[in-house]
Amino acid sequence: MRVHLGSDHAGLELKEHLLNWLADEGYEVVDHGPFLYDAEDDYPVFCLRCADAVAADQQDGQQAVGVVIGGSGNGEQIAANKVMGIRAALAWSEETAELARLHNDANVLSVGGRMHTIEDMTRFVNVFLTTDYSGEPRHTRRIEMLTDYEKTGNLPPLPESAVGQVTRSQQGSGHGSGHGSGHGSGHGGPSQGDA
């Protein structure tokens, strides 16, 4: 399996560690940078390239995943998810790394280089790489909804159980967002529909 890596200065130490660890584990590793420490570097430069390479490889039939690393992992996950075909998940435990693959078929893992020890993050990456997607119909259905939205911009249809709730919310507030009306915002006490 090919593993693409991208980070910023905050993830550089872990990325360098993973380069060696992944090679020792038999993975083909592609490093998208950075290659030198620069406290002013920008994570999108490297994480977008990492994610884009994963998407291109998968489109070509190559088994590939990515790992993006930053201080918290949040920005890196956001960047990776801007690439069509990428499902990037932020892991902060072995369980979240496992579920990213098992339930979400994530193809990029994001970790925070300042949030955990190198040993912990290496375990998260190992769990991610060694867990297969479950293929359960409910998870596949949800992933297909996301893929369709990504390609077409069409929202998935509301289930019957939600149609009445949305209608009441829209009637009570004049719009569907709930902002400023007390509906769904947690402010202003119970709404009219909360009897």
Q: Which residues are catalytic?
A: 76, 103
The secondary structure of the chain in percent helix, strand, coil, rounded to multiples of 5, reads 50, 15, 40
Using DSSP's 3-state secondary structure scheme, residue 112 falls into strand
Using DSSP's 3-state secondary structure scheme, residue 16 falls into helix
CA-based R_g, the chain, Å? 20
